[in-house]
Amino acid sequence: MKAQALRYSSMAGYMSSKKTMEINPENSIMEELRKRADADKSDKSVKDLVLLLFETALLTSSFSLEEPNTFGNRIHRMLKLGLSIDDDSADADADMPVLEEADADAEGRKIDDFSDLSPPWQAAVAPMLQLTTLIKLLLLPI
């Protein structure tokens, strides 16, 4: 209901749906979170897991997140934690040498060289070129 224009701003409170989250305290996830929270009150991973659980419940209930970037960062931290990747390993990637581009003759035809194709083929290849450009940008070191 955020995008709908209303006469009075006070009417928006009546029109918007209320968020209610029901928690099953006997769920194995909740029991483990309770154990970890009792063991260490300042554990950042427990806080991230609880917020991740809440935001996931919001998304599955068709609500929108106020800060989706924070949600994405939290997911990445949890993935790194699950894969046992240290945050310091990102700094180690900065020390890696820059990859050299392969010769056009060695790999055959370059992916960006489709100017001689007929228009139907160009239309089919254009989304792939955009995708490869996006992948190249994602693989660049930050």
pLDDT digits (tens, 9 = 90+) for 58-86: 888 888 888 889 888 888 888 888 888 87
Q: What is the mean pLDDT of each run of 10 residues along the chain (142 residues)?
A: 57 65 87 91 86 88 86 86 73 54 52 57 59 67 58
Structural contact between residues 78 and 44, judged by C-beta atoms closer than 8 angstroms? no
- pLDDT computed for residue 103 by the predictor: 52
Structural contact between residues 53 and 74, judged by C-beta atoms closer than 8 angstroms? no
Round to whole Å and give the CA distance between 47 and 45.
5
Residue 34 is assigned to a structural domain of this protein = yes
In whole angstroms, how far apart are CA 129 and each of 50, 54, 63, 120, 133?
40, 38, 34, 15, 6
Residue 39 is assigned to a structural domain of this protein = yes
Let me know whether 30 and 87 are in one domain: yes
Cβ contacts of 85 within 8 Å, gap of 6 or more: 79
- pLDDT computed for residue 121 by the predictor: 55
Round to whole Å and give the CA distance between 77 and 41.
19
The pTM of the full predicted model, rounded to 2 decimals, is 0.48
Let me know whether 26 and 61 are in one domain: yes
- pLDDT computed for residue 132 by the predictor: 67
Residue 2 is assigned to a structural domain of this protein = no
Round to whole Å and give the CA distance between 142 and 140.
6
Residue 14 is assigned to a structural domain of this protein = no
Here the CATH number for the domain that contains residue 65 is: 1.20.120.790
Let me know whether 57 and 85 are in one domain: yes
Nearest to 48 by CA among 33, 31, 66: 33
Let me know whether 73 and 121 are in one domain: no
- Domain around 28: 21-93
